[in-house]
Amino acid sequence: MKKIKIAIVEDEELASQSLKDCLSRFSKENDISFDITEYREGLSFLDEHVDFDLIFMDIEMPHMNGIEVAKKLRSLDENVSLIFVTNMAQYAIQGYSVDAIDYVLKPIKYARLSSLMKKTLRIINQVQEQAIVLKTTGGMTKIYLSSIQYIEIKDHLLIYHTDQGEIEVWGTIKSTEEMLPQDSFCRCSHSVIVHFKYIVSTDKDTIYMTDEKIPISISHAKKKEFLSRFNHYLGL
């Protein structure tokens, strides 16, 4: 499993640190990596809207409580895993209206968090592990959709750029586009399909992919549709 991206939306610094300590212990005991980002209130979290795998949401926060933040979140992302953090269990019952996985009570107990994390990671793993099987010159190859960064075609040869390297198969860009989830992948030119989650920035006519900021051109013919779908993905 890849590194899990976690957001902690919690206005109390001590509570946030306690949660991070528990997650650090779980990470070491279960040999899994977490990338954790903290937010002190819900509005800044919604404004940034990073693509997370798991969100820990405090319910009692100033300006906008966690339930209201979660309702707005669900209009942007229907699938992200959500766990509420609260002082009182009766508040957490409202979490089921926004498809929260569960809740943890403060002060956080490691045994409870560990059990809940194992359940949550199974759910995240199911989402991440959607896969396709490709026929290559060396035989059949299974690749996970979550690992595909972008796909380009050169001389009728499709090149899948993935987290594990390049995979070359015969095929057409059109049939590949039709096979992939439309909410995550989009064709930005005649010859390239990109995975939204790997876009790190854009300018007028160029997309920059992955941490290496690989430049990919947006064609004039595809620009309007691409920007519309990418903005929808970002919740704009």
Alpha-carbon distance of 117 to 198, in angstroms, equals: 25
Averaged pLDDT, 167-176 = 91
Mean pLDDT of the region 142-166:
90
- CA 31 from centroid of its chain's CA atoms: 20
Instruction: Identify the pLDDT of residue 183.
Output: 85
Selected residue with higher pLDDT from 195 and 50 = 195
Helix axes 110-128, 13-30, angle to 10 degrees: 70
Right CATH for 131-234 from 2.40.50.1020, 3.40.50.300, 3.10.129.10, 3.40.50.150: 2.40.50.1020
- Whether the predicted pLDDT of 151 surpasses 60: yes
For residue 178, give every residue at least 6 positions away whose Cβ sits within 8 Å of its Cβ, in sequence order, or none: none
pLDDT band at residue 49, thresholds of 50, 70 and 90? low
Range 4-128 has CATH code 3.40.50.2300: yes
pLDDT of residue 131: 77
CB 210 within 8 A of CB 165: no
Q: What's the pLDDT score for residue 132?
A: 83
Provide the residue ranges of all domains of the chain, joining segments of one domain with +: 4-128, 131-234
Number of residues written out for the chain: 236
